[in-house]
Structure 1
Amino acid sequence: MTDEYETYERKVQLTGGTTYTVSLPKTWANEHSLEIGDAVTLHPRSDRLVLTRESGEPDQRTVTVSAGRHAPAGIARLVAAAYVSGADTVHVEGSPDRQARAAIREAVGGFVGLEIAEETERTVTARTMLDVADLPPERTLDRMRDRTLEMHEAAMAAVLEGDGEAGRRVAGEDDTVDRLFGLLAREFHRSLVAVPAPVDGTLTPFDHYTVARQLERVADHAGKIADAATTVETPPPVSVADDLERLAADAREVVRLSVTETLGGCEPRALGAVVTEADALRTETRRVDRELYDRGLADGYVLATVLDSITRTIEYGVNVAEAGLRVALRADDTVDGAAVDDVD
């Protein structure tokens, strides 16, 4: 038997004066279950050609989990991992008890398109009901951006007003962003075993995942800011509140512009301007951090954690902008007329 990953070099030949043919070694074809009359597909990918065999059946993947070998929390983690890794069906067998079933239902509810399709005394079966064509990744990222920035703004308002109840409400809204992130993470993992998509300056599943990951982190910090609102004893002084509110608004604008430009065409000049603005904002956050330390406020530590989350928000926006620049460079090795090697 030949090595599964052995490379073969074949010559293109002319047959009958009008058709090019490429022969396949018979031994190799037999080992890969190719027979006379089987259809194969050639996918042009830049300087490569990828050959695939059409199975004629939808590519469905099933994962089976044994309830008897795992605690309820472990079962929930495995269901989540199966969904993100691209499984279409998850069977939990072994007569899961009431606690295990509750954990499964909670895990299933945390993902877009995953539902419990069948439940018996011995098994629980969850299936994805997704039609990816109805959920384009750009639209999902738009929703993630809008929801994340709304959370961030509401969390800052709660801190600056010392409104712990509002902070608790905002902290509970992170699940929506997590569900959307799970969907894009799933599509990225599925792409790892699919025919590579053309890399022509458009966003790949990995690019979608990269942007989504940064938005998910921004949402996490919005949750931290919201948690801080529950511990602030009194609203901060007006001058401090003004600085924090301004920096937070500017940080959100960095994220908004980075995501919008990346989804809208990855224009290098616009993305570079976002990075430049972010550098200036980070200098400003350091100034405010020193002033918070010098003031010795009763809530100084809590406000410093809020400022740290604002700084992280800026950095995650920069990560998105840099991802957009990488996409632009894949499509064209010049930026504003200068060769990439000449860019400092």
Structure 2
Amino acid sequence: MIENTRQTRKIQLSGGSTYIISLPKEWVEELQIKVGENITIMKNSNQSLSLFRHEQNNQKENIATIYLNQKDSGDSIKRKIIAIYLAGYKIIQIKTKGMKISLEHSKSVRELVRSSMIGTEIVESSSDAITIQILTRLPELSFETALKRMYLMATNMIKESIESLEERDILHANGVINMDDEVDRFGLYMRRNLVLAIENQNILEEMGLQRPADCLEYRTIVSKIERIADHAGLIAKRIKFIEDKIEPKIIIKIKKLAEKSLQVFEEAITAIQNHDFQKGENVADKVSKVIEEEKEIMSNIKENEKNSTIIRFVLEDLRRIAEYAGDIAEVAIDENIHKIISNK
């Protein structure tokens, strides 16, 4: 293992037009770089240069193996697989030591692959081993496309949860709850790609990002959209506890608050997409107004009023949606603050 990871070398001029830099011999030997091998040089956005081999055989590094035992729960196995998926491995091997994989464990793995992990498939399955193969990225599903789909799904969840609330439609509400799984699928897919992009300049550029630091900001955005979808799902889950329909005057107030939360969410995403500092600022101001309105409606709800507890929870969900949208807007503000800084 190379302990010395930094050296200073002089740039030399050869033939009047070619600049040359030598590589430390011990580095070349340890990395097993051969004479005549192609090396790719990449200019990074932070004014640095990266060198990497044209073809890297990282198959061993891209395989992760976990061993199960009888005490493992299905949820524990799912957490381990998701962590490996997010870490960027291409192949996940699930094995046992001298015993068969239980039906419960096998079912948990298959359910996870089918419902939560985009671009994955089970390529091998036996009584004592399951192998999951993961496509690094789906060419037809760019980062921008996936983010837009997440936003649209979360928006639809909010709209449909309020419609279900108004009609007290439990069947419709159950459909909204199921949509949350789809949002989570895209969230996992995007977080995985952000991890890969931090380590690979090519992937970073293909995703339309400029700096590795952008990955941290977009990870925040993905997480906030997931939380917004969670609260839309919570509204839908509360519907089965409603006694009769909620009074029309209360429904009107809830719908207006929902519209304002949706507007804040939409403008926050627009601020991110357009790299618009001022729109991000405007969103932050509107979030404060949503919070004030939620408090006002909440203060007028009587404790003994029918469905008062459910109404309070729904109002809180709508407030939290606006607050998460505000967090997204703050990313736009932080990312574009340089546009208003004067160097004079």
With structure 2 as the length reference, what TM-score do the two structures score?
Answer: 0.88
Of 275, 288, 291, 1:282 maps to 291
Closer, same or farther: CA 288–245 of 1 in aligned 2, 3 Å: same
Mapped contact 2:231–2:321 kept (Cα < 8 A): yes
Answering whether residue 270 of structure 2 is matched by residue 260 of structure 1, we say yes
CA distance in 2 between counterparts of 1:200 and 1:151 reads 32
Tell me how far apart the structure 1 counterparts of residues 85 and 20 of structure 2 sit (CA, whole Å).
41
Residue 36 of structure 1 corresponds to 35
- Name 1:11's counterpart in structure 2: 10
* Matching residue of 2:19: 20
Q: SS of the residue aligned with 1:93?
A: strand
The correspondence of residues 313-332 of structure 1 with structure 2, limited to 5 A, is: 313-329=321-337
What is the deviation of 1:130?
A: 5.6
Residues 163 and 119 (structure 1), Cα distance of their counterparts in 2 relative to 1, 3 Å cut: same
Amino acid at match of 1:141: L
Contact kept, 8 Å, 1:77 with 1:107, in 2: the verdict is no
Deviation at 1:39, TM superposition (A): 2.7
Give the 3-state SS of the residue equivalent to 2:19 in structure 1.
Answer: strand
Q: CA deviation at 1:193?
A: 3.0
C-alpha deviation, 1:201, in angstroms: 8.2
Unmatched tracts of structure 1, length 5 or more: none
- Aligned ranges 1:97-246 → 2 under 5 Å: 97-109=102-114, 110-129=116-135, 131-195=137-201, 197=204, 200=210, 204-246=214-256
Number of aligned positions between the proteins = 333
- CA apart distance, 1:240: 1.8
What is the aligned-residue identity percentage? 22
What residue in structure 2 maps to residue 272 of structure 1?
281
Q: 1:259 to 1:202 in 2, by over 3 A?
A: farther
Q: Which structure 2 segments of 5+ residues have no match?
A: none
Quote the Cα distance in structure 2 between the aligned partners of 1:208 and 1:250: 24
Q: Counterpart of 1:134 in 2: which secondary structure?
A: coil
Contact 1:90/1:127 (8 A) holds in 2: yes
Q: How does 1:85-96 map to 2 (within 5 A)?
A: 85-94=87-96, 95-96=100-101
The answer (yes or no) to whether the contact 1:178–1:216 under 8 Å persists in 2 is yes
Cα distance in 2 between the residues matched to 1:327 and 1:130: 27
Corresponding position of 2:48: 48
SS in 2 for 1:234: coil
- Secondary structure at the counterpart of residue 65 of structure 2: strand
What CA RMSD, in Å, does the superposition of the two structures yield over aligned residues?
A: 2.5
CA contact (8 A) 1:164 1:231 kept: no
> Take 1:84 and 1:102, find their aligned partners in 2: how far apart are those partners?
21
Asked if the contact 2:198–2:212 (Cα under 8 Å) also holds between the matched residues in 1, the reply is: no
Q: Distance in 2 between matches of 1:117 and 1:278?
A: 47
Partner of residue 81, structure 1: 83
Alpha-carbon distance, 1:20 to partner? 1.2
Q: Is the 8 A contact 1:218 1:316 kept in 2?
A: yes
- Paired with 2:211 and 2:24, the residues of 1 have a C-alpha distance of 36
User: In the alignment, is the contact (CA less than 8 A) between 1:164 and 1:229 conserved in 2?
Assistant: yes
Q: Which moved more, 1:58-67 or 1:41-50?
A: 58-67
Residue 80 of structure 1 deviates from its aligned partner by 2.1
Separation in structure 2 between the aligned mates of residue 122 and residue 258 of structure 1, nearest angstrom: 48
> Cα distance, 1:148 vs. partner?
0.8
Aligned residue identity for 1:122: D
Assess, with a 3 A threshold, how the Cα gap between structure 1 residues 202 and 283 changes in structure 2: closer, same or farther.
farther
Range that drifts further, 112-121 or 157-166: 157-166
> Which moved further from structure 2: 167-176 or 180-189?
167-176
- How far apart are the structure 2 equivalents of 1:266 and 1:317? 15
